[in-house]
Amino acid sequence: MWRRRETFYYNDFTDFGLYGLSTLAFCHLFKKLYLSALSFLLHMKHNRLIIFILLLAFSCGSMAAQQGTVKGTITSKNSSTPLAGALITDASGSELGKSGVDGSFTVSLDEGKQMLFINMTDYEQAIVSVTVTAGETTEIGAVELPEMAGFMMDIGSVSIMEGFSEDGFETQSIHGVLSASADIFMSTAAYTFGQVMYRKRGYDNNYQNVSLNGFVVNDIESGAPYWSNWGGLNDVMRSSVVSSGPEPIGFLFEPVGGATRINTRASVYRSGIRAVYSRSNRTYPNRAMLTYSTGLLNSNWAVTGSYSRRWGEQGYKEGTFYDANSFFLSVEKKINSRHSLNLTALDAMYRRGVGGGATQEVYDLAGDNYYNPYWGYQDGEVRSARVRSSNKPLLTLAHIWKPSDKLDIQTTAGYWFGKGGYTALNWYDVLDPRPDYYRKLPGYFYDESDIDRITDAWQSDPSVSHIDWDHFYYANSKNIYTVYNEGGVEGNSLTGNRSKYIIEDRRNDLSQFQFNSRASWNIASGMNLTGGLLVDIYRGHNFNVISDLLGGDYWLDVDQFAERDYPNNPEAYQNDLNNPDNAVTEGETFGNSYYAFQRGAILWGTGTYTGNRYKLYLSAHAKYTAMWREGLMRKGLFPDNSFGESERLDFPTWGVKAGGDYRFTGRHMIIFNTLITTNPPLFRNSFLSPRTRNTLTPELREEMIFSGDVSYVLRSPVVTGRMTAYYTRFMNQTEVTSFYHDEWRTLVNYAMTGIDKENYGIEAGAEIGITSELTVNAVASLGQYLWISNPDITITQDNNSQVLSKEEVWIQYFRQSGTPQTALALGIEYNSSRFWWAGITGSYYDNIYLDFNPVTRTKDDTGYYPYWDYQQKADPGFLVDIFVGKSWRIDDVYVTLSANLSNVLDNRTVITGGYEQYRYDPERPDLFQPRVYYANGFNYFINLSIRY
Amino acid sequence: MKEEQIMEKIRCIYRLIAVVTLLLFAVSCSDNNETPPPEKLFIPGEIVTVQQVRALYADQLAISDYTQRHPVEIVNDWALLGVITASDKEDGNFYKEAYIEDATGGLRLVFEATSGIYIGDSVIVNVKGLWLGDYGNFWQLGGVPYYQQDGTVRVGGMNMDKQCLKLSIGNPTYPAAVTITQARSSAYLGRLVRFDGVQFTDAMTGRTWANAVDQVTENRTLEDCDSKTIIVRTSGYSAAAGELLPSGNGSITGIVTIFNGTYQFLVRDFDEVDMTGTRCGVVEQPLGTPVETLSEDFEGFGDDDDIYISGWQNIATAGGRIWLAQVYSSNSYAQATGYYSNLASMVTWLITRPVTISSQKVLTFQTAKAYWAHTGTNFPMEVLASTNYNGNDIAAATWTPLTAVMAQQSDPDHTFINSGNVNLPVAAGKSAVIAFKYMGSDTESTSYRIDNIAVTAAGK
């Protein structure tokens, strides 16, 4: 199953395979040019730098070209009705105008042969080629927009794969490209590559920014936006602007991974009702959505509401129930032609069973690469131990103000609050109850007879191969125990059944206020200045709650690891000295509890100049971030360093970027972006062990990012496509992880600092129109995502504050994990004029690396790396997807039925990623094999939508 | 006409909403199954004795080559009823095990995890489906056996919750008060016993219970005043592993086991170790009241007599050897030596009766050495004075070295050398003791001798 790399040298790119030599040479050349330009910029004195940039921006200022006018009407191909609000752009994506109520439009264009792009939500893009004569009006007549094929219409049909990292953080595959983007690369990345946890350009999730009506919804502590926060509200999240990289989309300093601006103003929705029912075997079996929108009423009010329910006993894996209700309400009042107010409230409430990864030994034992260790039978019925839940309402109030035709000011205040978390088993005085615990697997034993015995039990007894809930209740119901001086009260003794197994809820609740104001000012023809201010006040509350005592009377809140190390020191093993020997019951907090505080302010601005054949932008931001921890428990092991507020961390950070495009003709264009920025470390990486104490990560620094990309865009009537080369360097990153160290028998914190990474490669996508109905598309993402430094590691253990060692992790030129570094797709799509469509896409993935274990790549006491090994790599994979759909119009009712059939060849051997376990036994390395995840086998998503 | 269309449209909307609502509530049961299962009761088997259970393994234990033995599965629907006398839940001296005892004996229970049962728990153990095996000829009751890496078979750990029911908790346990000789018999194997009047042997002086640094289990020797010994075995993970063994004599409570013919004793709770009394054979030596002068020539002591002088003290603080009398050519003197002591460290003090020091007093004595074995700058003896020694606690007193001429390595063996006049400190209304402190070991075993100790007033 595993392919290990035999050698790994710095300049060894033989592994690239499909790249080809020329691509490689280009990559290198680009990287060199970029770095030298960067060093040139950095070595200039400040004032010179500013002058240089200003020159760059305005040097070729006012070469105004002769212009002509183009007129036409936009109609729906399916219904022949005029379409209002369609967006008309030129080849560079600059907005020229919008269609009126009757579908008509008039736009001004430079003379010569030009391309017009017409975009509208739910409709396919239309491209019109027109010859513009200076000073004259060209009539192009009716432009028909076909309704978009069903598979492109629905974000919910995109597979959002979810995994867990070793320390329980949520991971997800989709990277801010969830819009029906006209860019074939972007849509393929979302719809096809999504099923293998593809991450665009290999960037981590926190390098993109998602805002909802101006409220940035990235999670503060981990930096990533979680799509589950508005899951099920697909029909009201479609009006969005997406950038694939740092190019400006008019809100904040768009980060290196791009930005998504979702607009939920009630007036943007088309009036009418829309109902959707979906059936699937992916994340959930059933989904129903109902959306109603008034459009802008005569009273100048607009209201849109949406409700959705997603439910079912099981998703793709066993033991993954789904129970979600999502609500959305947006109310807008247009006060006058200059002022509008919008209030949006949404809440995606869910509870669902999560599927977990396992080792290949376990998958083989279970005979199923989709075995899920998180569930078992309780009285004959399936119960999941890992239930993720969320109830986080978001309220935003936006004021949209147009003081003049040239000025546009939008101000948003928002409040986000509520609770989220995931449950997990906890246990005391019993063998690890997880079915895939290594001592319960055949691989732990030496003799054939034992191996056969365990294998048989695994394959015949579900109480062995799954969680044995009934036994938990049995054990808890008869474990009589007396707690003396309960709660620290002298003489207060409590006798009852002390639970040995419990379900705890590891909560992360939030309370976040955000205020931002942005102004966009068209200074003069072609010149725009957009900027604003954002203030963010966040408090997260991380704590454990007893979710289910499983038949016992109480759980005693002590630290088991410390109890074993200090059996005669009852002070040391208290989780909370302020409340010692606490017998907790359901709903009570225990284990750990702390606030995460973070406050930030951002000042940002972007200047854009659009000339005849080119566009340039210059963008900058300054950001201030303060963060601190407040412990709500006094931990026995750290009595002086766990309760109360930590030191306050302050990080001033900044960023500058510049870029633009140049049009050779309307059909050929070059786009480039360059960026330098610093970022504060993430909260979760700023503390060594935030669950237990206030200790800061040593040598904490701001990270720095250099990035650049250049694209060639072709937009001919037959072929449209884009090819981009990119290079990004991340420096001074910090990562903190905690895990149980087998040799030392304690929880250990690994703080890696001085992490440098390099991500570079090429992404290309092309669509070729064979006939008006038949299209072929090809997409390639060829990347090299590397760790390029040997980070410093500080190792501390949780049962004292002593630094165990400070070493180097020998991982230079290891690959980043969690995404295929090579992804290719080839598809054919047929769009019949009789309102049906079908397509088939084949995709190929390679260079999928597993996350490495730093423990085995760290120097031991004698200065050697006795357990060092090459990084593990998964086999390449090939998947085929099919989509079909048809739509009908019955009077005013539109009915669309579509099916998205993924992995129709039912390939069950494609590993999407995984990680080496941190537990490591040098004597028997096979005991702790890596945990891996497989791409789903055949799966489907069938969607029926009805619209009035 | 238009109105009709609108009405039709509204009807359509209502129909749709009705259909959707139906869909949502008719098919939407999808919760996690969190309803508790019906309660399951513990059904005990027929109560039998520890002896009856042990008997099932008698045939295997009779096989002298332990590699030929195999654990025996218990097929009878039997149960043990007893009290837990030792458990891994106390002090960490046991790991994944506990001891149950009934009127007929004790048995080691081995578990798949920390036992979760406590000293004083009264329990029923269903033994059907469990396996009996042995470790170094000592029975253990556990789960399904498995092969270890070296090919030997061993009983696995049982699941406590499946096999045991706690009837009540916090019951008193009654150790049998026995002698070491009694305990070293099969009658007490696996049982909780208490030894009284025992002490760790002299060779154990200065050692810890176990190796806490590397977490290694260690054996220590316990003796009674008849020099009968038993091994005390302590885990490197136990709470007391890093603590010094008690130096005195007293009582200790624990479990008697055997390993390949050697009896062992395992402490179950270090709070039950009470060994602060006077060691075997040690004579009470109350410090005398202050006197004006001293004169001691050791005449009257026979060869190898312990030197006990009224008002004086002769105390070993390390190693248990004290100053002995020697007679050569009709002259008696005091000698301390590490020769053939087998001691890692030997420290012994001869402390004089206090003398008043309101006026200047002068000390004189003679020293001789033989068979020099001290190395480097190590010197066998120090002469010290203290004005605040209370007669009990040597360590707490302040000791001031006195400078005197003493027999050196280069001096001839067996020849006494005069110390010269040694001035004692002067302090109004106070008195001082003088200590002759020998420091040696089995290797640094120089014999050192003193004679003719005298304290007189200055100038007389």
Lowest mean pLDDT among A130-144, A149-163, A282-296, A844-858: A149-163
Nearest residue, CB atoms, A312 vs list B9, B30, B157: B30
Rounded distance between C-alpha atoms, residue B291 and residue B431, angstroms: 8
Phi-psi region of A897 (alpha: psi -120 to 50; beta: other; left: phi over 0): beta
Same domain, A265 and A122: no
Nearest CA in chain A to B41: A474
Nearest CA in chain B to A310: B28
User: What is the reported pLDDT for A174?
Assistant: 42
The percent of residues above 90 in pLDDT, for chain A, comes to: 55
Q: What is the mean pLDDT of chain A?
A: 85
Same domain, A102 and A179: no
Tell me the pLDDT tens digit for each residue of B83-117.
999 999 998 899 999 999 999 999 999 999 999 99
Same domain, A380 and A405: yes
Q: Does residue A6 carry a pLDDT above 60?
A: no
Q: List beta partners, residue B134.
A: B139
With beta carbons under 8 A apart, name residues in chain A contacting B215.
Answer: none
* B171 SS3 class: coil
Which residues of A, range 273-292, sit inside 8 Å of B by Cβ?
Answer: 273, 275, 277, 286, 288, 290
Same domain, A633 and A777: yes
User: What is the reported pLDDT for A760?
Assistant: 97
Query: A404 is written with which tokens?
Result: 């003049």
Q: What is the least distance, in Å, from the CA of A408 to any CA of chain B?
A: 38
Which element (helix H / strand E) includes A49? Answer: helix A46-58
Q: Look at residue A96 and tell me if it is in a domain.
A: yes
Same domain, A158 and A119: no
Q: What is the least distance, in Å, from the CA of B116 to any CA of chain A?
A: 5
- A-B contacts at Cβ under 8 angstroms: 126
With beta carbons under 8 A apart, name residues in chain A contacting B16.
Answer: 273, 275, 946
Same domain, A141 and A171: no
With beta carbons under 8 A apart, name residues in chain A contacting B155.
Answer: none
CA B31-B33-B37 angle, to 5 degrees, is 155
Q: What is the least distance, in Å, from the CA of A567 to any CA of chain B?
A: 6
Rounded distance between C-alpha atoms, residue B92 and residue A266, angstroms: 66
With beta carbons under 8 A apart, name residues in chain A contacting B20.
Answer: 275, 277, 288, 290
Domain span at residue A82 reads: 44-145
User: How many CB atoms within 10 Å of residue B182?
Assistant: 15
User: What is the reported pLDDT for A54?
Assistant: 42
Q: Does residue A205 carry a pLDDT above 50?
A: yes
Which residues of A, range 542-581, sit inside 8 Å of B by Cβ?
Answer: 548, 550-551, 564, 567-568
Contacts of A65 (CB under 8 A, 6+ apart): A110, A111, A612
Same domain, A157 and A141: no
Which residues of A, range 336-355, sit inside 8 Å of B by Cβ?
Answer: 351, 353
Considering only residues B15 and B349, tell me which one the structure prediction assigns the higher pLDDT: B349
Q: List beta partners, residue A714.
A: A668, A721
Interchain CB contact of B144 with A (< 8 Å)? yes
Q: Look at residue A493 and tell me if it is in a domain.
A: no
A463 by Cβ neighbours in 10 Å (0-12 / 13-18 / 19+) ranks as middle
Nearest residue, CB atoms, B30 vs list A322, A432, A478: A322
How many residues would you count in chain A? 948
Q: Does residue A178 carry a pLDDT above 70?
A: no
Nearest CA in chain B to A291: B17
Q: Does residue A122 carry a pLDDT above 70?
A: no
Query: Residue A60: pLDDT band by 50, 70, 90 thresholds?
Result: very low
Q: Does residue A913 carry a pLDDT above 50?
A: yes
Same domain, A298 and A349: yes
Q: Look at residue A127 and tell me if it is in a domain.
A: yes
User: What is the reported pLDDT for B452?
Assistant: 94
Query: Residue B165: pLDDT band by 50, 70, 90 thresholds?
Result: very high
CA A224-A226-A231 angle, to 5 degrees, is 165
User: What is the reported pLDDT for A610?
Assistant: 86
Say whether A447 and B147 touch across the interface (CB within 8 A): yes
Q: Does residue A50 carry a pLDDT above 70?
A: no
Mutate to test the interface with A, among B29, B32, B41, B96 (most CBs of A within 10 A): B32
With beta carbons under 8 A apart, name residues in chain B contacting A430.
Answer: 113-114, 116, 159-161
Mutate to test the interface with B, among A477, A483, A926 (most CBs of B within 10 A): A477
Domain finish residue from A107, A128, A145: A145
Interchain CB contact of B226 with A (< 8 Å)? no
User: What is the reported pLDDT for A374?
Assistant: 94
Interchain CB contact of A630 with B (< 8 Å)? no
Mutate to test the interface with B, among A306, A320, A325, A474 (most CBs of B within 10 A): A474
User: What is the reported pLDDT for B399?
Assistant: 95
- For A449, phi then psi, to 5°, come to -65, -40
Block residue for tokens 């719809």: A191
Same domain, A358 and A376: yes
Query: Residue A42: pLDDT band by 50, 70, 90 thresholds?
Result: very low
Rounded distance between C-alpha atoms, residue A567 and residue A239, angstroms: 60
When mean pLDDT is compared over A620-634, A791-805, A846-860, the highest value belongs to A620-634
Query: Residue A569: pLDDT band by 50, 70, 90 thresholds?
Result: confident
Q: Look at residue A548 and tell me if it is in a domain.
A: yes
Query: A345 is written with which tokens?
Result: 């409230």
Query: Residue A57: pLDDT band by 50, 70, 90 thresholds?
Result: very low
Rounded distance between C-alpha atoms, residue A58 and residue A48, angstroms: 15
User: How many CB atoms within 10 Å of residue A76?
Assistant: 19
CATH number for A867: 2.40.170.20
Nearest CA in chain B to A550: B36
Interchain CB contact of A311 with B (< 8 Å)? yes
Say whether B20 and A290 touch across the interface (CB within 8 A): yes
With beta carbons under 8 A apart, name residues in chain B contacting A500.
Answer: 116, 161
Q: How many domains in chain A?
A: 2
What is the CB-side half-sphere exposure of residue A554 using CA atoms within 13 A?
Answer: 17
Lowest mean pLDDT among A374-388, A435-449, A685-699, A744-758: A744-758
Q: Does residue A25 carry a pLDDT above 80?
A: no
Same domain, A140 and A188: no
Q: Does residue B158 carry a pLDDT above 60?
A: yes
Reference A621, options A209, A942, A106; nearest CA is A209
- For B341, phi then psi, to 5°, come to -85, -25
With beta carbons under 8 A apart, name residues in chain A contacting B123.
Answer: none
Domain finish residue from A145, A180, A209: A145
User: What is the reported pLDDT for B71?
Assistant: 96
Tell me the pLDDT tens digit for each residue of A821-871.
999 999 999 988 788 889 999 999 999 999 998 888 888 777 788 888 899
Q: Does residue A653 carry a pLDDT above 80?
A: yes
Q: Look at residue A931 and tell me if it is in a domain.
A: yes
A745 by Cβ neighbours in 10 Å (0-12 / 13-18 / 19+) ranks as middle
Q: Look at residue A498 and tell me if it is in a domain.
A: no
Say whether B161 and A431 touch across the interface (CB within 8 A): no
User: What is the reported pLDDT for A21?
Assistant: 35
Query: Residue B51: pLDDT band by 50, 70, 90 thresholds?
Result: very high
Which residues of A, range 441-470, sit inside 8 Å of B by Cβ?
Answer: 445-447, 449-450, 453, 469-470
Query: Residue A744: pLDDT band by 50, 70, 90 thresholds?
Result: low
Q: Look at residue A109 and tell me if it is in a domain.
A: yes
Q: Does residue A349 carry a pLDDT above 70?
A: yes
Nearest residue, CB atoms, A321 vs list B31, B89, B112: B31
Domains and CATH numbers, chain B: 46-168 (2.40.50.200), 176-277 (2.40.50.140), 294-457 (2.60.120.200)
User: What is the reported pLDDT for B460?
Assistant: 62
Q: What is the least distance, in Å, from the CA of A548 to any CA of chain B?
A: 9
Q: What is the least distance, in Å, from the CA of B238 to any CA of chain A?
A: 8
With beta carbons under 8 A apart, name residues in chain B contacting A562.
Answer: none
Rounded distance between C-alpha atoms, residue A782 and residue A803, angstroms: 41
Q: Look at residue A450 and tell me if it is in a domain.
A: no
Say whether A378 and B169 touch across the interface (CB within 8 A): no
Contacts of A624 (CB under 8 A, 6+ apart): A600, A601, A602, A650, A651, A652, A653
Q: Does residue A171 carry a pLDDT above 50?
A: no
Same domain, A287 and A223: yes
User: What is the reported pLDDT for B320?
Assistant: 81
With beta carbons under 8 A apart, name residues in chain A contacting B91.
Answer: 567-568
User: What is the reported pLDDT for A799?
Assistant: 67
Considering only residues A170 and B418, tell me which one the structure prediction assigns the higher pLDDT: B418
User: What is the reported pLDDT for B23?
Assistant: 61
User: What is the reported pLDDT for A2?
Assistant: 34
CATH number for A106: 2.60.40.10
Domain finish residue from A121, A145, A169: A145
Q: What is the least distance, in Å, from the CA of A301 to any CA of chain B?
A: 21
Q: What would the mean pLDDT of B174-187 be, rounded to a whole number? A: 94
The end-to-end CA distance of chain B, in Å, is 147
Query: B10 is written with which tokens?
Result: 């509204």
Same domain, A693 and A820: yes
Rounded distance between C-alpha atoms, residue B413 and residue B369, angstroms: 6
